[in-house]
Amino acid sequence: MSDPAPSATKTPVPLALRFCVLATFLVLVVLVALRWLNQVSVFPPTNKDASLAPRLAKTYPDVRELHFNAQDGQPLYGWLQGRDDAPIKILQAMGNAEYVGPSAALYQETSAFLGAQFLLFDYRGFANSAGRPSEAGLAADIRGAYAYAVDTLKWRPSQVVVWGRSLGGGPATRLVADLLADTPRPGLEHGGKPRALLLEAAFTSIPDMAIIAMPQLGVPQWLCYSLFDNLGRAPELQLPVLHWQGDADDIIPFAQGQELFAALPGPKQFLRLQGTQHNNIWDDSARAQTIRETIARFLAQYPEKR
């Protein structure tokens, strides 16, 4: 009988290699955690009733449901609210966690007062638009909405007013900057200079917001994936801009609104809402009427240039 073959001796894994593998794993964990933290901070998950907007659309005589694609092909849901012959066409970029439906009464009153037609839409991942929100995604969403308005609804670029509320100020300023660029951006070749930009309680940037919201992280601005750099884009916004914000804003510091406004090249106007917070801007009927009247007077100063 032959002797059994000697068993192979296992070569121990070098300690340096073990350390490198562990360090790589920990780095990946940290990067995934940071990505998750960015996502839930910028786009906090909230309950959205996807059945609300379709139900409400049937109760408004001046509402038509829309289905169109973002610039990257993502299907989106929206509303066209107001008369087709309205001289003012407003492309609305709503705030975080907002979606078509809950603000229906607000936009109906504003549409009627201004004599305007609104194009409202759900960002990807919001209520009736599938997908997952991101800074690039929201930019593609508003570009798709603008292209649909101009190419399909036949809105004249010179009559379009872009309105960005809170988070919506990011995609709104980015769209306007793209439309004003010397070289047309892909998907916006049929665009042109908008009539005006309306900013409601807009921030300077996500990194600036992170410094205020998460100071315990030391340098949270270094950890931001989303930028929404409204302040950096502000000097490019060579068109009339109306900006309003409450001086008791409990989410976006009023000082940020003032800094952003100061960076705009003009013509411009700032409406300070005394004692008003972030989410109650439209709650008071008298204040809401003041905002509508201010918008109407501002737009009257800068009529459409054909």
Domain ranges of the chain: 15-43, 51-301
Please say if the pLDDT value at position 37 is more than 70: no
Structure confidence at residue 201 (pLDDT): 97
Comparing 231 with 33, the larger pLDDT belongs to 231
Q: pLDDT for 79-134, tens place per residue?
A: 999 999 999 999 999 998 899 999 888 899 999 999 999 999 999 999 999 999 99
pLDDT score of 97: 83
pLDDT at 35 over 60: no
For the stretch 43-53, pLDDT in tens is 767 788 999 99
Query: For residue 139, which of 39, 70, 69 has the smallest C-alpha distance?
Result: 70
| pLDDT for 174 | 96
**215-266 tens-digit pLDDT:** 666 566 556 566 789 999 999 999 999 999 999 999 999 999 999 999 999 8
CATH number of the 51-301 domain: 3.40.50.1820
Give a three-class secondary structure readout of the chain: CCCCCCCCCCCCCCHHHHHHHHHHHHHHHHHHHHHHHHHHHHCCCCCCCCCHHHHHHCCCCCEEEEEEECCCCCEEEEEEECCCCCCEEEEEECCCCCCCCCCHHHHHHHHHHHCEEEEEECCCCCCCCCCCCCHHHHHHHHHHHHHHHHHCCCCCHHHEEEEEEHHHHHHHHHHHHHHHCCCCCCCCCCCCCCCEEEEECCCCCHHHHHHHHCHHHCCHHHHCCCCCCHHHHHHHCCCCEEEEEECCCCCCCHHHHHHHHHHCCCCEEEEEECCCCCCCCCCCHHHHHHHHHHHHHHHHHCCCCC
pLDDT at 185: 82
Whether the per-residue pLDDT at 33 is higher than 60: the answer is no
How many Cα atoms occupy the beta-carbon half-sphere of 295 within 13 Å? Answer: 25
pLDDT above 90 (res 19): no
Whether residue 286 has pLDDT greater than 80: yes
pLDDT at 306: 77
HSE (side-chain half, CA atoms, 13 Å) at 250: 6
pLDDT at 298 over 70: yes
pLDDT at 50: 94
Whose tokens are 């809170």? That residue is: 166
| Tokens 């906090």 sit on residue | 44
Average pLDDT over residues 281-303: 97
CA distances from 96 to 42, 61, 99, 100 (A): 8, 27, 8, 12
Query: How far is residue 164 from each of residues 8, 160, 201, 242, measured CA to CA in Å?
Result: 69, 13, 9, 11
